[in-house]
Every structure is written in structure tokens, then in C-alpha cells.
Amino acid sequence: MKAKQKKAFERIREEFPILDQKINGEDLIYLDNAASTQKPKAVINAIKDYYENDHSNVHRGVHTLSVRATEAYENARVKVTEFLNSPNNHQIIFTKGTTDSINLIATSITSLINENDEILITAMEHHSNIVPWQELCKRTGAVLKIIPINENGEILIDDYKDMVSAKTKLISVVHLSNTLGTINPIEDIIKIAKSHDVITVIDGAQAAGHLPIDVQQLDCDFYLFSGHKIFGPTGIGVLYGKEEILNRIDPYQYGGEMILKVTFEKTTYNSLPHKFEAGTPNIAGAVGIGASIDFINSLDRDLCHEYEMSLHDYALNQLEQIDGIRIIGKSSHKSAIISFVIDGMHPHDIGTIINQKGIAVRTGHHCTMPLMDFYEIPGTVRASFSIYNNHSEIDKLIDAIKLAIKMLK
């Protein structure tokens, strides 16, 4: 990477005020981006400006502030529409986050699922893409089936092909694994599913901030992601759905906003997207996610990916030289996430010691307990990189890990 480009990433870092602080007397090194990314000034200011100037409740208000709040909220929907290349705005539903989006589908689709239907997920899913489907199966008598992976952390596509049958009703698969960093071949997975009329749900929580997403090209039925993993605020997420299926499934929650007409005898539901947005929505969150999309759009995404992968490769090369280290997740198609364990050392102990050096990594099962069982480990240390990290931070990470090993042996 050229010096000029590195300089550009130094300037990007300056947009994130939280990074300019000491933790335990050391410069903060934030390598927990797969859990949540930090927020640029543009996002923080957009939320602040909204509350200082435009806040009111949305829709139906005739006064100026309500009109402004409605415009801000609906403008954010337009930005998401363009971000995902959705055919139109009303296929974008605002939710609390990816978990909420999955729960919405798993609940609202209940009436379309019958006893002995099969739901497919993979062995690398986050708990949020396991438990809602288990509950759906409990309610309906459907069967949850798990597509296996190999030791590198890659889905066994041939096994998947064999598992899809006339009984298969839905597949829900993660686009980019939060634990392994694997980028799954969702284009192929969706094509195979479509050839059997299987409903496709893509968990894009990790992917949306790192990869360009085109839902029309993918042809998935649902695509989901969270604001806080794309430099936006917590408590806001997105569910994209195909219009036909969004119209077929039931509302998720009931109350204000999601109705057309209410009498004591009968209620008629509102059209999309309002059918799925009961109650006062997270307006400031939507404003924030809109600002985060503007921020991402201001970046050269290919260059960002190249930069993040240069951090990944630099870290991986040094980590692999440490005695007793085992990298968890070695797919050839990866994002900038590295999970690892060290012989005889618990991830929490390593995490606690390197936090003393100001370094934030995630330790534990990363909400993927079945995946930990597959690798026969209790948890991992996970370093996940973003555009504001740099190579000298990785040098400090490696030094801190070596210190932890020295202390704990």
C-alpha cells in the first residue's frame, strides 16, 4: 500500500474521537470491531443535530417538527434502499438490529411452516441465527437441520446440496462469520435454494460494513444487518425482504403505526413497510444509520477492504510464529477477523492481560457455542480489524500476547 494511501487511513482515524484516549495509561487499541464498530463524528453529529433541531414523533403530525422528523426517518430508509440496491423503499424495514430482524422473520413466517418441514442453518451460525429457528420448530413441528463445515471453517457445499429437498422450507445462513471471518459463498447457496423454492435468509451483520451488498443480484428473500456494526448507532437494524413474501407473512408486533383502520371488531393492517414497524420507531437510530451509510459511501470501499486485509495478513503472519498458537478459521475467502487459541491458556486470561496494555479484543464463545464445540474449545481470542486500525497497533498486540504468555506460563 502506498504511503499516500496510508496517510488517507490516518485521516480516517481522526474522524473517530473515541480512539483518542488512554486505557490503563496506554493508547487505546480497539480490535473488537466484529462486536461493534466505533462511530465517526459525522454519525455522532447527525444524531445530536437531529435531537437539537428536528425531533418529534414521525408520521401523521402536521406541525413542522413532525414533518422534519418524518423526512429524516424516511430519508434514512432511502439511503438504506440504495445501500442494498433494494428495488424500492418499502422493502426496507427498520428493526432493533440483526437479532430482531431474524426474530421478526422466524415469528411472522410461522403460518407458512408445517410439521416436518425442514429449516436449514449452518454449523457456524451466531446464536441469534439458531435460537429463533429452534423456537419456530418447537411451534410448528418443523425440523432444524445443520449444514456441516470443514476444519478450515468453510461450509460443505456438496453436503448442503444433498440436504436440500422438497421438505426444505427455508435456509438462513451467515454471510460473513463473526467468529471465523469466513465469507460464505452465498451466491451459490441462494442459487441452490432457489432451484428448490426454498426461502433464503442472509445474516449480513458482519458483511454489510465490509462488502458491497446487492440484494437484487443476490436474489435472496431476506437480507439483515445492524447499524452498530457499520459505524452507526446501536438499537437500529435493517430487514430487507422481497415484497411478495413480506406481504404473505404476518405482522411481528401489533399497535400503532402498523394499522390502516382499527375498530373494536376488526383491524386492517398497514401496507409495507409500516406493517412491520409497530409503535414509535427509533428515529434517531435511523438518522444515525443514514449518516453511517453516507460515511461509508464517502470511502473507497475496495481500498478499505484491501487495507483491512493488509492488517489481517500482517497480524496473521506474526501470530502464526508464536509457539502453541492455533488459528480458528482458515478459509481462503476471509474478512479481517482472526480467532485463535494458545495451548494451555484461557482466552479470558489473555484478554484481561492485554487489556492492561490498552488493547480491546473479544474473548469467549462469541455467541457461537456450537462452533466452539465443533473445534472442541471453550472460546477464542478474537482480533477484528477496521479502517481506523494500523500496523503499529498490531505490533503492540503481538507484544502484549507474548507478555501474556510469559506471565501465564
Partner 1 sequence: MVSKLYKNQLIELSHNPYHFGKPEDIFSSKEVLNTLCGDKITVYQNGDPLKAIELWFESVSCIICSASASILTKNIEGMNLNDGIEFMNQVEASIKDGTIRNNNFTKDLNCLDEIKNYPSRTTCATLPWTTAIDLLK
Q: Name the minimum Å distance from CB 238 to partner 1.
A: 28
* Binding footprint of partner 1 on the chain (CB under 8 A): 346-349, 352-353, 355-356, 363-365, 369, 372, 378-379, 407-408
Q: Name the minimum Å distance from CB 91 to partner 1.
A: 37
Q: Name the minimum Å distance from CB 127 to partner 1.
A: 11
Judged by beta carbon, residue 86 or residue 128, the one nearer partner 1 is 128
Q: Name the minimum Å distance from CB 24 to partner 1.
A: 8
Q: Name the minimum Å distance from CB 25 to partner 1.
A: 10
| Beta bridge pairs of residue 334 | 182
Judged by beta carbon, residue 256 or residue 378, the one nearer partner 1 is 378
Q: Pairing mode, if any, of strands 168-174 and 118-122? A: parallel
Judged by beta carbon, residue 235 or residue 364, the one nearer partner 1 is 364
Alpha carbon distance 329, 152 (integer Å): 5
Alpha carbon distance 72, 249 (integer Å): 28
Is 204 in contact with 175 (CB distance < 8 Å)? yes
Is 367 tagged catalytic?
yes
- The 10 Å CB-count burial string (b at 16+, else e) for 302-340 is eebbebbbbbbebbbebbeeeeebebbbbbeebbbbbbb
Which of the following is catalytic: 137, 220, 304, 367? 367
Judged by beta carbon, residue 69 or residue 372, the one nearer partner 1 is 372
Comparing CA positions, the residue from 32, 28, 48 lying closest to residue 40 is 48
CA–CA distances in Å: residue 259 to residues 62, 253, 364: 19, 11, 43
Q: Pairing mode, if any, of strands 380-384 and 237-241? A: unpaired
Is 34 in contact with 206 (CB distance < 8 Å)? yes
Judged by beta carbon, residue 42 or residue 369, the one nearer partner 1 is 369
Q: Name the minimum Å distance from CB 180 to partner 1.
A: 16
- The 10 Å CB-count burial string (b at 16+, else e) for 143-182 is eebebebeeebbbeeeebeebbeebbbbbbbbbbbbbbbb
Alpha carbon distance 140, 143 (integer Å): 9
In order, the DSSP letters of 362-396 are EEE-TT-HHHHHHHT-S-EEEEE--TT--HHHHHH
Judged by beta carbon, residue 260 or residue 407, the one nearer partner 1 is 407
Q: C-alpha grid cell for residue 22?
A: 488512554
* Residues recognised as catalytic: 367
